């Protein structure tokens, strides 16, 4: 293989990516009024397929714990805290603000870093199944041709007010069924490492020659 052909092969981008992430998660609902009020560990793994240097889809599995104080009906906080484990699966579309990829001296518009946004659908299991809409922002950085780092802040807007799994807290104010703003919310701030594989096909037949 000639030097020119080797250079061409090295420029072929990877189409697929797997990764692991970890960080802290939180819950906002009847027992927690603010984000990061009772932070707990969050973790996950994902698969990403890149259609272009701007667009990708991501399938993700994640787990996190949520917790909060018990309250009486008149709003008095009780000392015992409840803890609930969530396991979630979601699918999201991503948009990169910059054309993202390995540094390329032939295309100066490609950058090894980019902020990005994402939106999708998901389902959580915790004693029962809940649907939600995942959305958020993140930052990607390729420090090597086939691996890099991701930082993501994801919010999950649920279609339910029952994540607590506590009868005293579920639908506490009798607003379910008509007030979607009363639904629970979870989120996580994570840092992860990613590994890329499956280079895209070469652009021309002559590049396949030995």
Domains belonging to the chain, first-starting first, are 3-208 (2.40.160.20)
Tokens of 47: 């698969």
Tokens of 180: 């979607």
Q: How far apart are CA 20 and CA 186, in angstroms?
A: 19
* pLDDT given for residue 180 in this prediction: 59
Helix (H/G/I), strand (E/B), else coil: 33: coil
Helix (H/G/I), strand (E/B), else coil: 166: coil
- Helices and strands: H and E segment counts in the chain: 1, 10
Share of the chain above pLDDT 70, in %: 80
Q: How far apart are CA 162 and CA 170, in angstroms?
A: 5
Burial 105-136 (b: 16+ CB within 10 A, else e): eeeeebbbebebebebebebebeeebebbbbb
For residue range 70-122, list pLDDT tens digits in order: 765 566 666 678 889 999 999 999 999 999 988 777 787 899 999 999 999 99
Burial 154-191 (b: 16+ CB within 10 A, else e): bbbbbebbbbbbbeebbebeeeeeeeeebbbbbbbbbe
- The predicted model scores a pTM of 0.83
For residue range 170-201, list pLDDT tens digits in order: 655 554 544 556 788 999 999 999 999 988 88
* pLDDT given for residue 107 in this prediction: 80
């Amino acid at each position: 293989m000639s030097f020119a052909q080797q250079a061409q092969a090295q420029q072929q981008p990877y189409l697929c990516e797997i990764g692991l992430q970890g960080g802290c998660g939180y819950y906002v609902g009847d027992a927690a009024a603010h984000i990061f009020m009772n932070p707990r560990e969050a973790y996950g793994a994902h698969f990403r397929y890149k259609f272009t240097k701007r667009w990708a889809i991501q399938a993700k599995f994640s787990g996190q714990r949520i917790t909060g104080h018990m309250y009486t009906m008149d709003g008095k906080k009780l000392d015992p805290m409840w803890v609930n484990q969530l396991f979630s699966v979601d699918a999201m579309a991503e948009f990169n603000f910059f054309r993202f990829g390995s540094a390329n001296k032939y295309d100066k518009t490609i950058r090894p870093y980019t902020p990005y946004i994402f939106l999708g659908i998901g389902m959580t299991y915790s004693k029962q199944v809940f649907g939600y809409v995942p959305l958020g922002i993140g930052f990607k950085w390729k420090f090597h041709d086939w691996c890099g780092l991701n930082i993501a802040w994801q919010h999950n807007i649920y279609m339910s007010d029952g994540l607590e799994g506590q009868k005293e807290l579920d639908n506490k104010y009798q607003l379910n069924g008509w007030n979607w703003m009363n639904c629970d919310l979870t989120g996580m701030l994570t840092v992860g490492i990613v590994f890329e594989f499956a280079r895209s096909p070469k652009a021309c037949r002559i590049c396949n020659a030995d």
